[in-house]
Structure 1
């Protein structure tokens, strides 16, 4: 039965998370094989779910539906996979598997880490598939708690501080979300997303409890998404976490929270609620516009690569929130594409940063000076992903931004001047993104001097040329040991870069794939 795939996608990684701890006392290195087998299985499960939704056609109008325990809505708990959730499930599975390839070499290691990693993956799958507001809170907390632990996985003081900051902010966000769900439940008596859609329409879109519930949910999820000025946890968490952890949380954690906001807005409260509450939508557009602009400016000011791309995420998620608030089909399509595309791009960019740090000791933009001469292929993949983030065609970055901006122009044509402001700040943001990506390209290809005779031949990686240990000069005059870039992780990076470019040609295909979902929502 196809619906059994949904609980399997959640249960398999959560149960597997117990195995490294169970067998750890006897087998010190059992964690990675268990995690690898589990994530490969998840890729297969995700592919099967996507095949049913996109190719064979889902069995119900809402997609694949699994009723836990056979209890029907509104009393039972449902798992649902439609076009949007199936796409996120595929992204989660692929990123989880790809990150493991890198973590095997770069760390962190240990059975406890792999247990946490699998639990995080199960929580992300739960967010993607749940059809119940309270269970969405449960999975958000699973993701949050495991992320706090993984950020501090290297046990340094800086990562512990970043984890505690993330914990405090994340707890506030979860609490606000839960209070918002409570208000909604008081007004409707239901927690099932599909049932709530009809019940809220009956109660009335202007009901104070309904409006307060949605506002609190938006603020709570905005803390987890890292919308300015609620972003304070993100730069430290991304910078201080181990590189493999940053790769997965940058690609998936805020992405899953943004997905939750999109899902709740359109499946539960609906576009009619947004139309009836201009004050809420205008506030969302204002917050999104500020996040887009300030995030871009702050990113352009950074010298640390991980902080640079962290602030970039603040801007990019602002675009997704704007797409949600614009409430028209074009903008929503752009928001969906950008949600998935940004997750893919940040996975690739942080993987590239991690490989540069592992192989060459690079942490800052200045450290990139003339590195393309030593690592041409790694640098090339990094640049391709950076240009895709700018939105240089053809790329998935352009596709999402284009539809969001076009949706904003359409809304402005209907008299919504705030939407015109979104289109303007998106243009400004793109220019700032081009500025800091151009700075990276300049450092890679045009800055610095040729390597001296003592360095020539000793700074190549396994992916870019001859192998062998050596040393690499640092801007502060020190030296760090040169290590081979792991071939498996490099191959993953190249594949991600190629996919990011290839998906840039998929505009009409994306409209067709998500057409049924958009038809139900708008």
Structure 2
């Protein structure tokens, strides 16, 4: 069965996503149970596939028996296996949050599972056009989920996301067309060899690189292509913000890395060093600009959104450096950021439900009002800053070491400066929670909640548990770097080296 796992991890959530709509004709109470069973199966498949890859190498599947490069190939290696497990585990965990938080409509869970299918397809595909197809599936599902928010601003944010996202996807598709014109193929492995034959300096190849990287940079939300992200994160339902902040840009960043290493290969950067310099420059600008914009925010969720602009700049910088150590750091930080940022958005959703707080000033005394949630936020904040032994520190450390090995000292300076800026804006939130007096009792005299907080809307123990689990994982995942290093070493050895 394991040989069919690459297609099953995509097909299972597609089939599961159709069931809530089907049973919705008779009842509106089966969306969450169907999604839970589907994602439990997805998680089992992803973990089994990852174990197979670690033990025996990459697993390939050709749907319909149409052999590549004419057919569409699915390939799962060490890097993609890690991301598939992340997608399955995070989406399953967010369901525990959604059980009480909602939305509860069957259509919501159908879109939820469709998003998981699109993300899984982006991760497992070995074809650049098929990547575009799953990119569009992911985008359409994400637009619908953002629009499911309860405010008018959610609809506006979804429309903005749709317009900007469509531009990004179109740029990517146009670049794929240039690759097809230059090589006559769309299969990633086949492209790697034929691009070298066509010549990396070819106008078609250079144009394709710029368009495809630019299109994916929109999806990653690198500065200045990030404009869709703050509104989408801050306006969406808190369940949706938790899910998309953890996974959507994360998988887009992985897809960009896959494009760099499996299609254009390290040979492209050797032949066209200005392309590597340009990507490093964009990443560095995103790191600094995202941090400065986050410092200027008074709305906590928008601050977290701009923080993601900076953190994904850090991840792309690690991939652009291209050394094995930097790739390890980028992958560790990619996984860690998904857990940390998802946990933080889940926590802000809980705080808003309990206290109505959205702004920094309204978080005053949260350590007393909701001690467990506040403690989870504090751990995640310091993990994001890079306090050892948390995963944020480990990822940044590897990226810095990789940058030093590559001699990119300007990037090292940017990385260190961004850490100080991250500390600056997160320290303000920590200070408000623990060193500022809470509001008067008259504004918080409401029903106690599971962690001792004061609540306005229902908050379940499961919702708080998601935040606690994210905080614990942010610390524990710091110890997985040696395993990730082994996986990256095994995978990098299989990358094309024309």
Q: TM-score higher than 0.5 here?
A: yes
Which of 63, 69, 90 in structure 2 is aligned with 1:74?
Answer: 69
- Higher mean C-alpha displacement, 246-255 vs 97-106: 97-106
1:457 offset after TM fit, Å? 7.5
C-alpha separation in 2, matches of 1:457 and 1:161:
34
Which of 412, 418, 421 in structure 2 is aligned with 1:429?
Answer: 418
- Which of the pair is proportionally richer in helix? 2
- Higher mean C-alpha displacement, 202-211 vs 215-224: 202-211
1:76 offset after TM fit, Å? 1.4
Report matched runs for 1:247-396 at 5 Å. Answer: 247-396=242-391
Aligned to 1:31: 31
Report matched runs for 1:95-110 at 5 Å. Answer: 95-110=90-105
1:184 offset after TM fit, Å? 0.6
Q: Does 1:5 align with 2:5?
A: yes
Which of 149, 163, 167 in structure 1 is aligned with 2:162?
Answer: 167
Aligned to 1:416: none
1:132 offset after TM fit, Å? 0.6
Which of 409, 427, 430 in structure 2 is aligned with 1:438?
Answer: 427
Q: CA RMSD in A?
A: 1.6
- Higher mean C-alpha displacement, 365-374 vs 510-519: 510-519
Q: Does 1:420 align with 2:420?
A: no
Aligned to 2:437: 448
1:351 offset after TM fit, Å? 1.1
Aligned to 1:460: 448
1:519 offset after TM fit, Å? 2.5
Aligned to 1:57: 56
Which of 466, 475, 484 in structure 2 is aligned with 1:492?
Answer: 466
C-alpha separation in 2, matches of 1:382 and 1:459:
22
1:320 offset after TM fit, Å? 1.5
Could you list the per-position Cα deviations for residues 246-301 of structure 1 after superposition, in whole angstroms to 9, with x for gaps in the alignment?
A: 11111111111111100011011100101111121111111111110010011111
Could you list the per-position Cα deviations for residues 459-504 of structure 1 after superposition, in whole angstroms to 9, with x for gaps in the alignment?
A: 6321337xxxxxx6xxxxxxxx634531112222212211110121
Give me the TM-score of the superposition, normalised by structure 1. 0.92
Q: Does 1:194 align with 2:182?
A: no
1:100 offset after TM fit, Å? 1.1
Q: Secondary structure at the match of 1:25?
A: coil
Aligned to 1:415: none
Aligned to 2:214: 219
- Higher mean C-alpha displacement, 427-436 vs 353-362: 353-362
Unaligned runs of 5+ in 2: none
Q: Secondary structure at the match of 1:65?
A: strand
C-alpha separation in 2, matches of 1:354 and 1:262:
31
Q: Secondary structure at the match of 1:271?
A: helix
Asked whether the equivalents of residues 98 and 489 of structure 1 are also in contact (C-alpha less than 8 Å), the reply is no
Asked whether the equivalents of residues 289 and 421 of structure 1 are also in contact (C-alpha less than 8 Å), the reply is no
Could you list the per-position Cα deviations for residues 165-185 of structure 1 after superposition, in whole angstroms to 9, with x for gaps in the alignment?
A: 111111110010001001011
C-alpha separation in 1, matches of 2:243 and 2:123:
16
C-alpha separation in 1, matches of 2:327 and 2:240:
30
C-alpha separation in 2, matches of 1:138 and 1:230:
21
C-alpha separation in 1, matches of 2:233 and 2:296:
16
C-alpha separation in 2, matches of 1:395 and 1:39:
27
Q: Secondary structure at the match of 1:108?
A: coil
C-alpha separation in 1, matches of 2:403 and 2:440:
49
Asked whether the equivalents of residues 96 and 463 of structure 2 are also in contact (C-alpha less than 8 Å), the reply is yes
Asked whether the equivalents of residues 461 and 483 of structure 1 are also in contact (C-alpha less than 8 Å), the reply is no
C-alpha separation in 1, matches of 2:20 and 2:482:
44
Asked whether the equivalents of residues 149 and 235 of structure 2 are also in contact (C-alpha less than 8 Å), the reply is no
Aligned to 1:243: 238
Unaligned runs of 5+ in 1: 413-418, 466-471, 473-480
1:360 offset after TM fit, Å? 2.6
Could you list the per-position Cα deviations for residues 293-333 of structure 1 after superposition, in whole angstroms to 9, with x for gaps in the alignment?
A: 01001111111111011000000111122122212222122
Distance 1:449 1:147, change over 3 A: closer
Could you list the per-position Cα deviations for residues 83-104 of structure 1 after superposition, in whole angstroms to 9, with x for gaps in the alignment?
A: 1111111111111111111112
Distance 1:353 1:89, change over 3 A: same
C-alpha separation in 1, matches of 2:39 and 2:440:
41
Distance 1:484 1:27, change over 3 A: closer
Asked whether the equivalents of residues 355 and 444 of structure 2 are also in contact (C-alpha less than 8 Å), the reply is no
Which of 80, 83, 105 in structure 1 is aligned with 2:78?
Answer: 83
Aligned to 1:43: 43
Q: Secondary structure at the match of 2:437?
A: coil
- Higher mean C-alpha displacement, 376-385 vs 483-492: 483-492
Distance 1:369 1:459, change over 3 A: farther
Q: Secondary structure at the match of 2:494?
A: helix
Distance 1:449 1:220, change over 3 A: closer
C-alpha separation in 2, matches of 1:67 and 1:378:
46
1:359 offset after TM fit, Å? 2.5
1:154 offset after TM fit, Å? 2.5
Which of 490, 493, 497 in structure 2 is aligned with 1:516?
Answer: 490
